[in-house]
């Protein structure tokens, strides 16, 4: 029996590269798709073992070629960030939602068995009256990024209804860990650690009480593995730690792990920042027997070691 092939869109990135490692270990043929000028450092160690397709996510021909002879598709591509998506909602819609519709058309034509979509547990709900937030909570995103993620979830449900295309949406909280770019604009844990290592100030929007749900990358990958290997009647799952951590508490953990007191600069809050976002993960636990295994202190320590090794002063 030939190996099953899995395509990871955005496969050279933080989560995609870890997932590629896991799928190779599970015996899959792995094909990665990423942009033309993508940095391949995260996948250098597996380049001889995978296919790498470079192209434009919004180019139908590129996506059609990428899904050929594929059993599973993991959709990790995002063309915007939450903090910037409100600057140009039309671009967010056309690139993310429009690109995904082309992907789904190509997947149906190619006979893809299942699509796993990386949605956003941190943005699709908006301000929730229920904490922790279950999947059944109202969705009122405060940024275009969250709106596009939610729209893609709905289109996946439509294509399942119209064409029988199976799918799972993982509403991921705030993932962190090795290979998360400490020089990027997103990913508080890695960005803060990178600034500590370089002796640079950390800028906080608001008073530091904004509370989020941080989930270590290895636990995220286990959730993807479960979604690929199992079938379930439910299609949307929260993936988080189920624990709320404020930015000030995160900074304290970073100080405890590194032994360095961060230089923190507070500034005015932003309208797009939901005060508290903590996910109810009971559906993942009940359906897949999945629970997070790495606590925040241990995950931050692993991430800190990686940053020191990869970005030496």
**Which residues does the annotation mark as catalytic?**
145
DSSP-assigned letters across all residues of 271-299: TT--SB--B--HHHHHHH-----S-HHHH
What's the CA gap between 243 and 154, in Å, rounded?
27
77 burial (CB, 10 Å; 0-12 / 13-18 / 19+) is: buried
Rounded to the nearest angstrom, the gap between the alpha carbon of residue 241 and the centroid of all alpha carbons in its chain is: 14
Q: Say how many CA atoms lie within 13 Å of 12 toward its Cβ.
A: 16
Task: Give me the residues paired with residue 73 across strands.
Answer: 7, 115
Which among 238, 34, 26 has a CA at the least distance from the CA of 136? 238
CA 271 → CA 88, 89, 122, 143, 184, distances in Å? 16, 16, 15, 9, 21
Task: Give me the residues paired with residue 298 across strands.
Answer: none
Q: Widest CA span of the chain, in angstroms?
A: 59
Q: Is 122 helix (H, G, I), strand (E, B) or coil?
A: coil
Residues counted in the chain: 313
């Amino acid at each position: 029996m030939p190996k099953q092939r899995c395509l990871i869109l955005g496969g050279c990135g933080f989560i995609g590269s870890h997932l590629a490692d896991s799928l190779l270990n599970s015996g899959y043929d792995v094909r990665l798709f990423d942009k033309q000028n993508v940095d391949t450092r995260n996948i250098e160690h597996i380049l001889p073992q995978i296919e790498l397709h470079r192209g434009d996510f919004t180019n139908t021909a590129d996506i059609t070629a990428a899904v050929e002879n594929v059993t599973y598709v993991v959709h990790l591509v995002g063309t915007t960030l939450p903090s910037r998506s409100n600057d140009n909602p039309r671009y967010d819609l056309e690139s993310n939602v429009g690109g995904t519709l082309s992907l789904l058309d190509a997947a149906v034509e190619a006979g893809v068995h299942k699509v796993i979509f990386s949605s956003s547990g941190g943005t699709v709900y908006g301000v929730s009256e229920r904490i922790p937030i279950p999947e059944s909570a109202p969705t009122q995103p405060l940024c275009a990024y969250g709106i596009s993620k939610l729209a893609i979830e709905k289109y996946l449900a439509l294509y399942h209804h119209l064409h029988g295309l199976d799918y799972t949406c993982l509403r991921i909280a705030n993932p962190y860990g090795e290979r998360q770019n400490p020089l990027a604009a997103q990913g508080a844990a890695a960005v803060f650690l990178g600034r500590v290592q370089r002796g640079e100030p950390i800028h906080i929007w608001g008073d530091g009480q904004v509370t989020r749900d941080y989930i270590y990358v290895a636990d995220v990958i286990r959730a993807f593995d479960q979604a690929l290997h199992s079938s379930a009647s439910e299609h949307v799952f929260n993936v988080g730690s189920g624990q709320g951590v404020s930015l000030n508490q995160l900074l304290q953990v970073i100080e405890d792990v590194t032994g360095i007191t961060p230089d923190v600069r507070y500034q005015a809050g932003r309208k797009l920042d939901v005060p508290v976002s903590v996910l109810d993960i009971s559906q993942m636990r009940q359906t897949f027997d999945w629970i997070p295994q790495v606590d925040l202190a241990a995950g931050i320590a692993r991430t800190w070691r990686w940053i020191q090794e990869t970005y030496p002063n």
